[in-house]
Structure 1
Amino acid sequence: MKYYKLHLIRHGLTQGNLDGRYIGSGTDLPLCAEGRAQLEELKAKFQYPDVPLVFCSPMLRAQQTAEVLFPNAKLTILQDLREMNFGKFENRPITELVKDPEFAQWMDPTSRTNPDGAEDRKAFYDRTNVMLMKLFEYQLRTHTEEAACITHGGVIMNMMANHVLPQHKPEEWMTDPGCGYSLRLDAEMWMRDHIAEAFDIVPYGYLDGAEE
C-alpha cells in the first residue's frame, strides 16, 4: 500500500510569544533571536524529514521558520494557512485578557459572539479544514509522496481534531514551536473518509528528548 506523508509544523517563537501576548494573523511578527536559535538547536539535535515541497502560511514567522528548517525545499505560500485574526484581542497580554469577560465569553467553544475585527470562528474552522483537504488532494494529484506544512498552533489543532486519527480534542493537539506531527494516508482512505493517521512527532526523536 502506498502512503503519502504530510508534516504539520508550528512556526518558531516570536517576541510576542515570549511576552505572553495573544498573537494571530492580525500581527505579523518575525522570529525573535531566541526563536531562531531554538529552531537551529532542534535541527542540530533531532531530525526533520527531507521534503521537496513546503506549504507555508503567509505570515513572516512561518516563512522564516521554513527558511531555517527546509532551506532547499520549494516554498509554496498559501493564504488560508494563516492563523485566526483575533481582532480587538490581537497583541494584548494574556494576563490582561483572562480578566476580560468578553474574552472569556469568546473562548467558550459554544459562543457565537465575535469580537470587533476578529475572524468568525466557523469561517476559521471551515477555512482550515478545506485547506488540509486541498493539501492532501494536491499531493495525490501530483504524486508528491512527502511534504511539510509550516503554519500556526490554532490551524494545526483544528486540522488534527477534524481529520486525523487517533481522535483528540483540539487542545490535545497543541504543539511546541518548531514541532508538530507527521501524518500519513493512502488515496483510498482519504477519498472515502477524509481521514489521515498521525504516526509520529516532528522532529523525529523530539519526544524521546523531552521525556529524558
Structure 2
Amino acid sequence: MVRFALTVVRHGETRYNKEKILQGQGVDEPLSATGFRQADAAGIYLSNVKFTHVFSSDLLRAKQTACTIIGKNKFCKDIVIQYDPRLRERKYGIAEGRPLSDLKAMAKAAGEQCPSFTPSGGETLDEVRARAKDFFEFLCLLLVEEEHQKGQAVLDMTGNGLETFEGKPVFPLRNHCSGLELNSDTDRAAKVLNANILVVSHGAYMRNWFGYFVLDLKCTLPSTLKKSQLSSVSPNTGVSHFIINLENGDLIKPEINCICLNQDDHLADVNTGNV
C-alpha cells in the first residue's frame, strides 16, 4: 500500500486576473501585490505541514506562489521545487491576452458554451485533462518507485508534520475544511503516509484535473460539497486536499478521497479586491 497526501493550490492573483484578461500559457504575468499577500496567507496556512515533494507550473505566477508558500514553511525552506510544464494553465491560443468577454463572444459566435469552447491555437478540455492525467500517473509511479527503493519504510504522521506540533493539530484543513470528519477506518489509515505533496498550478487546469479525479477515478467528495463548487474555478490561492491510496501499488485504480476543494478560509483577512 502506498498512501500519500496531495495538496493543490492555485497561484495568487495577477493584474490580468483582476482585470479578467486571459493569460493561458502565452502571457507570463507576475503576481500583483494582492497576489503576494494571498501567497503569504496560504504559506502561513500551510506553514506546519512538512511536504516531502513540491511541484509547480513553470509559469511565473505559479513559481512565485510556490516559492512564497515554501518560504513560510517551518520545515521545508530548503526543499527543491520541481517545475513541470505539465502543470501549466490551459492554452487559449488567439484569446490569450484578451478580455474574457472576447472568449465568451467567440464561443457564442461558434454556437458553443464558453468553458468547452476551444479558440484557434488553444487546447481542448480533453487535451488539458490528458496533461493532468499524465502528471498524476507520473506522481503515482514516482512514489511507488520511491517506496520500493526504501524497502517498505514509511513516514508516520508525527514524522512528516501532519499530526501534531507542540501538542496541537498542525494540518490546517483538519480544522477548516468542510466534510473533514473522517470515519474510524479512514482516520486510522491516514495515520501512515508515504509522502506529502504540494502542487501549485492554475484555475482552469485544476478544474479539469479535479474533473478527471471525480469522473474517471471516482474520487469521493465531502458530503457538504455542492455541484456548483465542483465546476467552479478555484479562487486565487484556493487550497484543495486529497488522500490517495494505491493498493498494492495499483496505478490504474487509485482510491482518492477529497478532503476539501478550493478552500479559501486563509484569505479572510486579505484584501483580495476583484479576484
Q: Distance in 2 between matches of 1:29 and 1:12?
A: 11
Q: CA-atom RMSD, angstroms?
A: 2.9
Q: Which runs of 5+ in 2 are unaligned?
A: 72-76, 148-193, 222-226, 270-275
| Residue 240 of structure 2: aligned partner | 181
Q: Which moved more, 1:137-146 or 1:81-90?
A: 137-146
Identity rate, percent: 20
* Cα offsets for 1:13-66 (capped at 9, x unmatched): 11100111122112111111110022223434x335321321111101111101
Q: Is the 8 A contact 1:184 1:197 kept in 2?
A: yes
- From 67, 86, 102, the equivalent of 1:80 is 86
- From 81, 91, 100, the equivalent of 2:97 is 91
Distance 1:175 1:103, change over 3 A: farther
Q: Does 1:117 align with 2:128?
A: no
Aligned residues: 205
| Residue 21 of structure 2: aligned partner | 21
Distance 1:67 1:198, change over 3 A: same
Q: Distance in 1 between matches of 2:83 and 2:69?
A: 16
Answer 1 or 2: which has greater helix percent: 1
- Offset of residue 95 of structure 1: 3.1
Q: Is the 8 A contact 1:12 1:61 kept in 2?
A: yes
| Residue 134 of structure 2: aligned partner | 130
SS of 1:116's equivalent in the other structure is coil
- From 194, 197, 205, the equivalent of 2:254 is 194
SS of 1:193's equivalent in the other structure is coil
Residue identity matched to 2:257: E
Q: Is the 8 A contact 2:8 2:241 kept in 1?
A: yes
Distance 1:83 1:28, change over 3 A: same
Q: Which runs of 5+ in 1 are unaligned?
A: none
Residue identity matched to 1:193: K
Residue identity matched to 2:39: L
Larger radius of gyration: 2
Q: Which moved more, 1:74-83 or 1:122-131?
A: 122-131
- Offset of residue 208 of structure 1: 11
Residue identity matched to 1:134: F
Q: Distance in 1 between matches of 2:115 and 2:236?
A: 25
| Residue 203 of structure 2: aligned partner | 153
* Cα offsets for 1:78-115 (capped at 9, x unmatched): 11111111011112112343334347626263x6xx42
| Residue 105 of structure 1: aligned partner | 112
- Offset of residue 130 of structure 1: 1.7
Q: Distance in 2 between matches of 1:40 and 1:208?
A: 10
Q: Distance in 2 between matches of 1:57 and 1:90?
A: 18
Question: TM-score by structure 2 length?
Answer: 0.65
Q: Which moved more, 1:115-124 or 1:6-15?
A: 115-124
Q: Distance in 2 between matches of 1:166 and 1:104?
A: 34
SS of 1:31's equivalent in the other structure is coil
| Residue 156 of structure 2: aligned partner | none
Question: TM-score by structure 1 length?
Answer: 0.82
Q: Is the 8 A contact 2:42 2:266 kept in 1?
A: no
| Residue 47 of structure 1: aligned partner | 46
- From 149, 155, 166, the equivalent of 2:220 is 166
Q: Distance in 2 between matches of 1:131 and 1:152?
A: 14
Q: Is the 8 A contact 2:4 2:195 kept in 1?
A: yes
* Cα offsets for 1:160-210 (capped at 9, x unmatched): 11224236688535322112211111221853523411113577x828969
Q: Is the 8 A contact 2:11 2:39 kept in 1?
A: no
SS of 1:196's equivalent in the other structure is strand
SS of 2:242's equivalent in the other structure is strand
